[in-house]
Amino acid sequence: MHALPIDPPQRLLMGPGPINADPRVLRAMSAQLVGQYDPAMTGYMNETMALYRDVFRTTNDATLLVDGTSRAGIEAVFVSLIEPGDRVLVPVFGRFGHLLREIAERCGAEVHVVEREWGTVFTVAELEKAILDSQPKLVAIVHGDTSTTVAQPLAELGALCAKHGALLYTDTTASLGGNLFEADAWGVDAATAGLQKCLAGPSGSSPLTLSPSAVAVINDRKSIEAGIRVAGDAVSAQPIRSNYFDLSQILDYWGPKRLNHHTEATSMLYAARECGRLMVEEGMPAVVERHRLHGTAMVTGLVAMGLGLFGDQSVRMNNVVGVRIPEGVNDAAVRGTMLQDFGIEIGTSFGPLAGKVWRIGTMGYNARRDTVLLTLAALEQVLRRAGFAATAGSGVGAALDFYSE
């Protein structure tokens, strides 16, 4: 087998993620490795924890990375918090809610599901009723679901969960950085993310944060691995059912004990640290505002072109918009031409929205004026040739007018 050196085509990734990584993140990833207990490495780990406290807006000590894509963070939190038989409430309003349900079921939870039509979100009253009906130990809900492009308002849910004795977990993979998120102010006990959306990195590392209450539940089940255990170390009768995702041990690895666990994925730590630096340098409110600005410019251009939007626009995420595929227009042909002629990728949809809705993202490194204008210009040409009657120049013109307002 003779394989050529890697030389991927030039693409502008304007779908629901992954997006193009910020060049600073790619440079950080090419830095040389150091040993796991080198003071430089433990220093980088501590800095990464501090950076992500700012990103999640929390003072939680337990703020760290799990190696793996976003769902590694979800699995780590679920398998560490949930004991077989625990009641878990999962309000589902899109594809990733179904994923939370599935992972909770695989952890042996008694899962209660309430569902909302895709493109809508739950009211506080609906969530409170569901909590009262199911009396869960954990409420697990997606914040922004890229599958439907809407975000569930969470500001009041933490207090509601606390009132009824439940922990609150949320998946912020798609929303963090692009939309306001306040782990502490909203009373969130556990939140996980990934780098490949608004954080401007590649997939492969999952930043997460755990409140002291969540840490207490996890540490109650602590079991130190046999080969590194010393006299007096914890051995639980109900150990966490995964070694790799055992957050009680991972916390000891990231904490002052530096207890050996997996070998931290060093290049991904470099990436996650650089994503954190980028966001903290810009400031979280400014990062969110940038996503709001360019996301709104994109929407303004799409609407001016005569396209219809999908989902409840009052809760649309700043960083991704659902566009109704016009009648008579071939979904795959349009996306194929966008990619072949312009090198631009936009997203299709899953489940009930497949073939009906495109998802166009403006996130992370690609939440910029030039990327918005290029995408609108290209889409307009491709749609006109596909038979859709958009007025020439309408999308780019409207976006430019919006920017100059």
For ligand PLP, the binding residues (CB under 6 A) are 17, 69-71, 96, 142, 145-146, 171, 173-174, 194, 203
β-pairing, 150-151 with 144-145?
antiparallel
As beta bridge partners, residue 324 has: 357
Single-letter amino acid code for the residue at 122 = F
Which DSSP string do the residues of 32-101 spell out, in sequence order?
PP--TT-HHHHHHHHHHHHHHHHHHT---SEEEEEESSHHHHHHHHHHHHPPTT-EEEEEESSHHHHHHH
Q: Is 326 or 347 the residue whose CB approaches ligand PLP more closely?
A: 347
Q: Smallest distance from the beta carbon of 325 to ligand PLP, in angstroms?
A: 20
Distance in angstroms (rounded) separating the CA atoms of residues 106 and 115? 19
Q: Is 171 or 345 the residue whose CB approaches ligand PLP more closely?
A: 171
Q: What's the gap between Cα 357 and its chain centre?
A: 20
Q: Smallest distance from the beta carbon of 212 to ligand PLP, in angstroms?
A: 25
Q: Is 195 or 247 the residue whose CB approaches ligand PLP more closely?
A: 195
Q: Is 174 or 224 the residue whose CB approaches ligand PLP more closely?
A: 174
Q: What's the gap between Cα 279 and its chain centre?
A: 15
Q: Smallest distance from the beta carbon of 112 to ligand PLP, in angstroms?
A: 20
- Which pair of tokens denotes residue 189? 């006990």
Q: Smallest distance from the beta carbon of 151 to ligand PLP, in angstroms?
A: 10
| Residue whose tokens read 């922004």 | 144
Q: Smallest distance from the beta carbon of 177 to ligand PLP, in angstroms?
A: 13
Q: Is 203 or 209 the residue whose CB approaches ligand PLP more closely?
A: 203
Distance in angstroms (rounded) separating the CA atoms of residues 132 and 111? 14
Distance in angstroms (rounded) separating the CA atoms of residues 37 and 313? 49
Q: Smallest distance from the beta carbon of 76 to ligand PLP, in angstroms?
A: 12
Q: Smallest distance from the beta carbon of 51 to ligand PLP, in angstroms?
A: 20
Nearest 5°: the CA angle 167, 172, 174 is 155
Q: Is 203 or 296 the residue whose CB approaches ligand PLP more closely?
A: 203
Q: Is 63 or 146 the residue whose CB approaches ligand PLP more closely?
A: 146
Q: Smallest distance from the beta carbon of 194 to ligand PLP, in angstroms?
A: 4
Q: Smallest distance from the beta carbon of 70 to ligand PLP, in angstroms?
A: 3
As beta bridge partners, residue 88 has: 111, 138
Q: Is 64 or 142 the residue whose CB approaches ligand PLP more closely?
A: 142
Which DSSP string do the residues of 212-264 spell out, in sequence order?
HHHHHHHHTT----GGG--TT----SS--S-STT-HHHHHHHHSTT----S--
Q: Is 13 or 383 the residue whose CB approaches ligand PLP more closely?
A: 13
CB 353 within 8 A of CB 336: no
Helices (H) and strands (E) in the chain, counts: 13, 14
